[in-house]
Amino acid sequence: MIVQTLDIGLAALVLTLAGWTVLAQATFPAVVSYVAYGLLLSLIWVRLFAVDVALTEAAIGGGVTGVLLIGASSKLRKAALSATEQELTPPLRWAIATLCVLATLALATVVLSLPDPSPTLAPEAVQNIAATGLGNPVTAVLIAYRAFDTMLEKCVLVLAVVGVWSLASDQYWGGAPGAPGAVTWDGALAFFAQLLPPLGILIGIRIFWIGADEPGGAFQGGAILAAMWMIIMMARLAEAPAIGERWMRIALAAGPIVFLGVGILGFVAGWGFLAYPAGFAKPLIIFVEIFMTLSIAATLPMLVAGPPIQAPRP
Amino acid sequence: MSAATLAGLTGALLAGLGLYGLIIQPDPLRRILAFNVLGSGIFLLFGIIARRGAVAGALADPVPQALVITGIVVAFAATALAVALLVRLSGETSRVDLRAELSGQTRGDGADD
Amino acid sequence: MTDFLLAAAVFILFTVAIGLVRILYGPYDADRAMAAQLFGSGGIATLLLVASATRAPGVEDVAMGLALLAAFASVAFVNTIATAEHDGVSGE
Amino acid sequence: MNFALNLLSVATISVGSVFFLAGTLGLLRFPDALSRLHTLTKADNVGLGLVVIGLLPLAHGVLGGLKLVVVWVLVQLSGATVAQLIAQSIRRNGPSA
């Protein structure tokens, strides 16, 4: 009974915040609504008992995306808003609204007519988990059963970084993103940014490590490590590194390359592309995941920092 | 109504709302936000399929969950790239209007996704 | 006990959610950031209560993740003001 | 013993809820930005702290309890920092910032 109140309340709140995000007059309220919306989504994921997803949403939706979007809204505030944009006529607006209502109804019909009992791959995932040496079926899906998806996802992240960097002006290529200097070591923010990372790094590594058996994993742990690097840069305790740095490039590419390398090793050694040998699966998986975690921790802050805006140092 | 069905209907509404914003909002940053709302609605649909597939030993089907985790990561990467494009465009032209630059060329507002 | 925990979760969630109207009506951006901040700690309290009531495993880690990142949106907000100041552009 | 612990949980969580209510009321009703900031960053810390104390007897073992305390410490730290930062920005730029 109370659980239902909670679920209905969560649904109403999440819809309200989504409505504000989409329809608010000004950009900043919309962005703040979206940040609060991300927090609510992770509550809903907990209610669906998808704790791995809730952890991902908490790290990405609330933290990293919030920083990205708030920064963007401030940078774009200075740009003249598109005043020339022609207003949509009311009939057109209604037509669009009708279309969207129809799309919603179609999806709702699908939800209400889902087969019962639902088809599920959970038994297979649970049955075969012993072969991977893992205890968390979600991690097993990500890193073993559907390793190809995860490998490509890491490639997408690297491509996104390349895409962001490619927006740099020619004179800044190889330089650092973000404003230079202004290192202030005092103040509340600097104190916070010195206190938080030790604890955050510990928690990030823990979430990565327990991901083998409990909710957590390479992405969630890496995202928390990434956030710690971001707070250090936001407090100006350290500047963003130049994109030409060799260690930077290696850190970004290490995850997909090691993953692919282990995959090809499997192909050569005869246990199959992106597969793991029986009995030695878990150590190999952990080995791959360590590099993936590092890559994610390097990638996310670079995506948020944007293209370089400083000339490279000679 | 079970929690899963309720979340599914919420997902459907979020998807519709996001789609509406994606079409009617003139400001590209708002379109990026709307696109993310649309995406999270779809993710919730995956979530209820996962929850309905619960069996002994797993509170939810791990396969859709893993797909959603991958999806969240890719959506973030796409958002970051779209934001970077937008900031660069505004830095270059001091405006965030896509149409003026594109008049006479192929109409393409696909920068949001 | 379960019912009490859930009732407390519902109460806290709705209470802090009312504060969210400051996001829409401001009047200042600082108020909007504050509303999100309050919603953050209320949401974490709700999460802990729900986790304890439904015995969903591993939720404490979600709460730790949220708590680690609780300040990020506000820090980004304050940073944008500092940057705007640095460029000689004040807020609205 | 169990009953007494449950009673403690109910009492602290209830009082914690009231602090969240106080923080929200302050955010909604107080006249200027600085007093709004004052109430909310204190009320939510105390509120969450009391909820955490109430949940401690129900925690899964020592590690579960430790995590709850860590959550509270982190929110405390975040709340204090954010209060400082927002207050500074208001003081420098006026509330419109």
Question: Does residue B88 register a pLDDT over 90?
Answer: no
B7–A contact, CB cutoff 8 A: yes
Q: How many domains does chain D have?
A: 1
Q: Kindly state the DSSP code that residue B95 receives in the 8-state scheme.
A: B
pLDDT in tens, A186-245: 588 888 888 899 999 999 998 888 887 788 888 889 999 999 999 888 888 887 888 888
Higher pLDDT, C87 or B62: B62
Domain ranges of chain C: 2-86
**pLDDT value of position D69:** 92
Residue A169's CB: how many other CB atoms inside 10 A?
14
In the numeric block, which tokens belong to residue D74? 């982190």
Single residue among A47, A74, A101 that ends a domain in this structure: A74
Place of tokens 């597939």: B53
Question: If pLDDT is split at 50, 70 and 90, which confidence band does C53 have?
Answer: confident
Residue B37: pLDDT over 50: yes
Query: For residues B21 and A311, which has the higher predicted lDDT (pLDDT)?
Result: B21
Inside any domain, residue A97: no
**Residue C57: burial class (beta carbons within 10 Å; 0-12, 13-18, 19+):** middle
ipTM attached to this prediction: 0.89
Give the side-chain half-sphere CA count within 13 A for A87: 3
Residue A37 reports pLDDT greater than 70: yes
Tally the domains of chain A: 2
pLDDT of residue B72: 92
Confirm if B70 and B39 have CB atoms less than 8 A apart.
Answer: no
What's chain C's average pLDDT?
A: 83
Given this model, what pLDDT does residue A180 score?
A: 55
Instruction: Classify the C-alpha dihedral A111-A116-A120-A126 as positive or negative.
Output: positive
Tell if the CB–CB gap between C4 and D13 is shorter than 8 Å: yes
What tens digit of pLDDT does each residue of C7-24 get? 999 999 999 889 888 888
Cα A72 from Cα A78, distance rounded (Å): 11
Token pair, residue C86, equals: 């640095």
Q: Structure pTM?
A: 0.90
| pLDDT score of D97 | 46
CB A6 within 8 A of CB C6: yes
Which one of D70, D77, D81 makes the best mutation probe of the A interface by having the most chain A beta carbons within 10 Å?
Answer: D81
A309: pLDDT strictly greater than 70: yes
- In chain A, the residue whose alpha carbon lies closest to the alpha carbon of B76 is A65
CB contact under 8 A, A216 and C36: no
Q: What is the pLDDT of residue A170?
A: 81
Tokens matching residue C91: 């807020």
pLDDT (0 to 100) of residue B103: 45
In angstroms, rounded to a whole number, what is the distance separating the alpha carbons of residues A5 and B67?
29
Question: Which of residues 5 through 34 in chain D touch C, CB cutoff 8 A?
Answer: 6, 9-10, 13-14, 16-17, 20-21, 23-24, 27-28, 33
What is the mean pLDDT of each successive set of 10 residues along chain D, which is 97 residues long?
Answer: 82 90 87 82 86 87 88 90 85 64
> Any chain C CB within 8 A of the CB of D66?
no
Greatest CA span in chain B, whole angstroms? Answer: 60
Name the maximum alpha-carbon separation found in chain D.
55
Of residues C42, C33, D47, C2, the one with CA closest to residue A43: C42
- Is the pLDDT confidence value at B101 over 60? no
Is residue A111 within 8 A of residue B9, CB to CB? The reply is yes
Query: Which residues on adjacent β-strands are paired with residue B55?
Result: B58
Task: Assess A224–C contact: CB distance below 8 Å, yes or no.
Answer: yes
Q: How confident is the model at residue A179 (pLDDT cuts 50, 70, 90)?
A: low
Summarised one tens digit per residue, pLDDT across range D63-73 is: 888 989 999 99
What is the architecture, at CATH level 2, of domain B3-102?
A: Orthogonal Bundle (1.10)
The residue type at A178: G
Q: CB-CB: which of A20, A29, A46 is closest to C47?
A: A46
Distance CA D42, CA D33 (A): 14
- The parent domain of residue D62 ranges over 2-93
Yes or no: say if B95 and A173 are a contact pair by the CB < 8 Å rule: no
What angle separates helix A218-234 from helix A188-210, to the nearest 10 degrees? 170
Q: Which of residues 19-78 of C touch A (CB under 8 A)?
A: 20, 23-24, 26, 29, 32-33, 35-36, 39-40, 43, 46-47, 50-51, 54, 56-59, 61-62, 64-66, 68-69, 71-73, 75-78
Helix (H) or strand (E) holding A194: helix A188-210
Between residues B104 and A69, which one has the greater pLDDT? Answer: A69
Percent of chain A exceeding pLDDT 70 equals: 94
- Average the pLDDT over A48-66 and give the result: 87
Q: If we measure between CA atoms, which residue out of A155, B16, D20, A108 comes closest to residue C44?
A: D20
User: Taking a C-beta distance cutoff of 8 angstroms, is the pair D63, D30 a contact?
Assistant: no
Check whether A23 has a pLDDT greater than 60.
yes
Instruction: Give the closest residue to A54 by CA, choosing from C46, C72, D54.
Output: C46
The answer to whether the CB of B39 falls within 8 A of the CB of B71 is: yes
Alpha-carbon distance A285 to B60, whole Å? 23
CA B109 – CA B98 distance, rounded (Å): 7
> What's the pLDDT at D96?
53
Q: Is the pLDDT of residue B89 over 70?
A: yes
> Quick one: angle between helices B62-93 and B28-52, nearest 10?
180
* Contact in structure between A101 and A251 (CB atoms under 8 Å): no
Helices (H) and strands (E) in chain B, counts: 4, 0
Looking at per-residue pLDDT, the higher value among B102 and D21 belongs to D21
| CB-neighbour burial class of residue C77 (10 A; exposed 0-12, middle 13-18, buried 19+) | buried
Phi/psi at C75 (5° precision)? -65, -45
SS3 C17: helix
- Indicate if the pLDDT at residue A263 is higher than 90: no
Q: How confident is the model at residue B95 (pLDDT cuts 50, 70, 90)?
A: low
From A307, A203, A286, A299, select the one nearest A254 (Cα to Cα): A299
Confidence band, pLDDT 50/70/90 cuts, at residue C84: low
Instruction: Determine, yes or no, domain membership for A103.
Output: no
Residue B65 has pLDDT above 90, yes or no: no
- A27 band by pLDDT with thresholds 50, 70 and 90: confident
The predicted pLDDT at position D1 comes to 60
**What pLDDT does B106 receive?**
42
Query: Across the interface, which of A47, A55, A62 has its CB nearest the CB of C61?
Result: A55
| Residue A61 structural domain | 1-74
Residue C89: what pLDDT? Answer: 43
Stretch among B62-66, B107-111, C49-53 having the lowest mean pLDDT: B107-111
Give tens-digit pLDDT for A64-120. Answer: 998 999 888 888 876 655 544 556 788 888 898 999 999 999 999 888 888 777 777
Integer Cα distance of D28 and D36 in angstroms: 8
pLDDT of residue B35: 94
> To 5 degrees, how large is the angle CA C10–CA C16–CA C18?
100
Collect all residues with Cβ–Cβ distance below 8 Å to C18 and sequence separation of at least 6.
D24, D28
| Distance, CA of A284 to CA of A271 (rounded, Å) | 13
